[in-house]
Every structure is written in C-alpha cells, then in structure tokens.
Amino acid sequence: MKSKATGITLVAFIAAVVFSWGASLPVELGQGLSTRWDVYEQSLYLTGVLSIALMSLTMVLATRPVWLDPLLGGLDRIYQLHKWAGILAVSFGVAHWLVEMGDDWIKDLFGRGARLAGADASGMLDSIRDAAEDLGEWGIYLAIGMLLLSLWRAFPYKFWRYLHRGMPALYLLLVFHAAWLLPVQWWTQPVGLLLAPLLLAGSLASLHSMGGRVGHRRKTRGRVVSVRAHAAGITEVVCQLDAGWQGHRPGQFALVSFERLEGAHPFTIASADQGDARVTFQIKALGDYTRDLASRLNVGQPVLIEGPYGCFDYNRSKPGARQIWVAAGVGVTPFLAWLEECQNDPARAPAADLHYCTRDAASDPLAARLGELCATLPSIRLRIHDSHQGERLTADQLAPASLPRRGVDLWFCGPVGLARSLREGMRTGTGARLRFHQEAFQMR
C-alpha cells in the first residue's frame, strides 16, 4: 500500500534539510563559497546535518506512531521508511566522516593560509569540543556496525534485537556531537530552526524507547488456547486475550511475543473480529524460531500481543474499481480474515476475483478453508493455482476482459518476486489504471 510514500517522504525530507542549509549560507558566508576551506566546511556541515536529521526521523518512527498510518499506509510502511532513513543517515554519516578526514589532505595540498580565522570554531570549550568530536567518530563506527548487522539477514534476530536496543543511547551521543559542533549562529537560521525540533523529538523518542514504553498502550496479555501443526509447515495458534484487547480489522497484524527472550514477531491475524477477544494466527515455518514453534508452544502458555497494526483492508479500494485478490502460501492469512468477516453479511461482500497460489492444493489446509468460506460468498470467485499440477499464476490471467473505467485494485500478499512480476505485467500488458496494494513485512 502506498508503495511510493516511502520514497516521496524521504526525498521531501532531505530536500527540506538541504533547503534550510542553503537558506542559512548567506549569513554564514556573506559573499558565498570563496575558498576551498569554505567548500570543505560547508560539505562537512551539510553531510552532518543530513545524517543527524535522518537519524532523528529514524528515532521518531521507531516509536511506532500510529497517527502516521493513514499517510504512509500502515506500520509496515512506517518501518520501511525507518529502515531506509537509517541507511541514508549512516551513509551521510560516513560521508561526513570522510570529509572530516580530508582536513589534513587539504591542509597539505593548499596550506592553511586560505582558511578563514575561526571558521571552524563553535564557541564552546576546547575540551568539550574534543569530546564531541571523539564521540561523533566512535558513534559513526558503531552505527556502521549496527547497519551491517541489520542488513545481514543470517544474523540471529534474538541477538540483533538486543543490540538494536542500544541505538537510542547511540543517537543521544550523536546529538551531543551535533549540538556542540554546529556553528552557534546557525541556531537562529533556517537550518537551526529545523534541526532543533528534530533533535528534541528524536531525543524524546530515544528516552521513550530506552524506558521500554514503545507500543506500551497497545499491548494486551492473553494465553494460548489451541496449537495445531499442519502438514504444509504451518502452525495454527489461537489466543484468548484479556479484556484490554480493543478488537481488530480484517487484514491487520500484531507483534506477538510467545517467549520473553525471543521477543516479538509480526504475524497477520487470520481471523475476523467476533467480539470475543480471540485471535488466530497461521504461522509459516520460515526460520529457526517458527520452524520449531509447534513443539515449543503449549495450551495455557502466556502470550503478549501488541497491536493491531496495518491498513491492508479491501474497504480502502476505490469505489467502482475491479478488485483482484492474490494470495500465495501463508500470504492467504489476511484474506481468510476478510472472508470470515464477509460471512456475517454475505450480501454485502464485494465482487472480487481471488487467486490462491499453493504448492500442493490436495495437502494444503488453507486451500480447503478458502473453499469453505468462498462457497457461501457468490460474489467472490476463487481460483486455485496448484504448482504441483504445473499451474503458474501470470499477469495475463489477472488481466480483465474489458478495461474497467474506475481501474483495478489488486491486493497482494505473498513472495516479493511474484508481486514484482504481476505488478509489472499488469501495468505493461493492460491499459487499466492499477493500484497495487502490498504490505512490506521485511521490517529488519
């Protein structure tokens, strides 16, 4: 959903920071970039400001601000923005460090004569300045290490999440670095007026995170009431939650903690809200933890659920648009919740083509469940694509016979490669206006 929101938001944010820096240059330089030292120092400031500004954005997004859901399309997109803002922040931080290392090279090549007297002074005590510089240097080293571990998918999540908890403290050290080394006069200029609230918001978010308050108001305790392992490598877990659960919309997900040391994992809620505070998860064995989940869970075991989150809801489709639902494997879970909700009033169910891709329909319990639910919903046309029988879903099979005037809303949940193939094929093979809705569950 809102697949372009992440890129647009990052471009707009960076543009705002660059514009504020550019608007502050006349005050800082007077006559413009007249010497090599001017270019050096402004490059140092710009890369540093961009890095700490993006880190501030990263810290705020890490608090899971649900008020951004309508703008960005759900918590999954917020975390996608959090991830890329962090990558860019570290990248600009590396550029900042490289520019700083160029100080001696410029001095050897051109000498110090062209350098303006006091151009690099911040008005702070030398001892504090030295400490700020040292903290900034070590901070970027640690940030690079954390980024590499985050991108290294083989690094165990249960260890990574503890290391990641150190990021708020690291951010506060970098705030100290930025606050003491930014030229004093800049705090009254556009760049300072933009940076000050960002640093304040990021610092408050960091303290909020360090205090363990992220998502605290959306957490509900409960217990496991049913565990069933299916032959397809899927574990069905039913949880009964306490009275604090406020319900959920079909298609939403939750952050689920079955074991305190393992931490929370995002799982889509595979059942509709029946008002009884009971939720069902269909969990695919995709890693070490989920592979052994059926043997590790017991009836009566406590569970902590945070949520619900997400905006994967067919009701957000454009009125009059043709709806196509595509699910692959365990990606069928939000559609199961949709179909369960439609059972309450079949006459109000939307008209949609539901395509389900499975490796072996004969042994897939979710395929059988889909058939049961769709049998009572005449407006939902189900087609199962069984790869065991050589059936493969292509964009040509999804293309409508006639181009709908209101376009096509395609709701997808499944592998990224299949999503890319279908999206590109639909956009190039048909003339229909396509709105492609897809959650981004790669939150690390």
Q: Is residue 61 pLDDT above 80, yes or no?
A: yes
pLDDT at 120 over 50: no
pLDDT at 122: 45
- pLDDT category at 14 given cuts 50, 70, 90 is very high
Instruction: Classify 92 as helix, strand or coil.
Output: helix
Alpha-helical runs (H) found in 35-125: 36-61, 69-72, 75-110
pLDDT band of residue 119 (cuts 50, 70, 90) is very low
Q: What is the pLDDT of residues 105-115, one digit of tens each?
A: 655 555 554 44
| Both structure tokens of 167 | 């990021």
Asked whether the beta carbons of 81 and 72 are under 8 A apart, the reply is yes
- Helix 36-61 vs helix 75-110: angle between axes, to the nearest 10 degrees? 160
From first CA to last CA, the distance across the chain in angstroms is 18
358 token code pair: 């499975």
Q: What is the pLDDT of residue 152?
A: 84
CA distances for 392 relative to 353, 355, 359, 382, 416, angstroms? 16, 11, 10, 15, 15
Q: What percent of the chain has pLDDT over 90?
A: 48
Structure tokens at 24: 């502050």
Ramachandran class of 377: left when φ > 0, alpha when ψ lies in -120 to 50, beta otherwise: beta
SS3 state of residue 276: coil
Q: What's the pLDDT at 285?
A: 81
Helix (H, G, I), strand (E, B) or coil at 244: coil
**Contact partners, residue 126, CB within 8 Å, separation at least 6:** none
- Tens digit of pLDDT for each residue in 338-357? 999 999 999 989 999 999 99
Average pLDDT (232-258) is 92
* Cβ 356 vs Cβ 383: under 8 Å: yes
Among 327, 309, 312, 245, CA closest to 279: 245
What integer pLDDT is reported at residue 264 of this predicted model? 87
Q: Which whole number is the average pLDDT over 87-102? A: 89
Range in 129-143, 215-229, 378-392 the model is least confident about:
129-143
Band (334; pLDDT cuts 50, 70, 90): very high
pLDDT band at residue 277 under the 50/70/90 scheme: very high
User: What is the residue type of 312?
Assistant: F
Q: Where are the alpha helices (DSSP H) in 312-363?
A: 333-342
Average the pLDDT over each of 117-131, 171-185, 303-317 and give the range with the smallest value. 117-131
155 confidence band (pLDDT: 50, 70, 90): confident
Token pair of 240 as six digits? 């009964």
- % pLDDT > 70, the chain: 87
| Angstrom distance (rounded) from CA 136 to CA 130 | 10
What would the mean pLDDT of 291-304 be, rounded to a whole number?
90
Report the alpha-carbon distance of residue 339 to residue 349 in Å, rounded.
8
CA–CA distance from 370 to each of 69, 208, 283 (Å)?
29, 43, 16
Average pLDDT over residues 158-176: 88
Q: Tell me, what's the pLDDT at 1? A: 43
330 within 8 A of 234, measured Cβ to Cβ? yes
How far does CA 213 lie from the centroid of its chain? 19
> Which has more confidence, 172 or 403?
172
Does the pLDDT at position 32 exceed 60? no
Q: Which domains does the chain have, with CATH numbers?
A: 5-210 (1.20.120), 216-309 (2.40.30.10), 314-438 (3.40.50.80)
Which residue would you say has higher pLDDT here, 287 or 371?
371
Confidence of residue 427 (pLDDT cuts 50, 70, 90): confident
The gap from C-alpha 50 to its chain's centroid, in whole angstroms, comes to: 20
Report residue 116's pLDDT band, with 50, 70 and 90 as the boundaries.
very low
pLDDT at position 339 is 96
CB 198 within 8 A of CB 192: no
- In this prediction, residue 7 carries a pLDDT of 87
pLDDT for position 173: 92
Given a cut of 90, is residue 441 above it in pLDDT?
no
Whole-angstrom Cα distance, residue 64 to residue 79? Answer: 8
pLDDT average, residue stretch 40-67? 93
Question: Per-residue pLDDT averaged across 189-205, rounded?
Answer: 96
Distance CA 249, CA 247 (A): 7
Rg (alpha carbons) of the chain, rounded to whole number: 26
Q: What is the mean pLDDT of residues 59-67?
A: 93
Average pLDDT of the residues in 394-423: 84
What's the mean pLDDT in 77-94? 93
- Give the span between the Cα atoms of 170 and 435, in whole angstroms: 40
Please say if the pLDDT value at position 125 is more than 70: no
Per the listing, tokens 């030229």 go with 183
Whether 128 has a pLDDT exceeding 70, the answer reads: no
97-107 pLDDT, tens digit per residue, is 888 877 666 55
- 431, pLDDT greater than 70: no
10: pLDDT confidence band, cut at 50, 70 and 90? Answer: very high
Q: What is the mean pLDDT of the chain?
A: 85
User: Is residue 375 scored above 90 in pLDDT?
Assistant: yes
The residue among 306, 208, 301, 321 whose CA lies nearest residue 256 is 306
Q: What pLDDT sits at residue 404?
A: 67
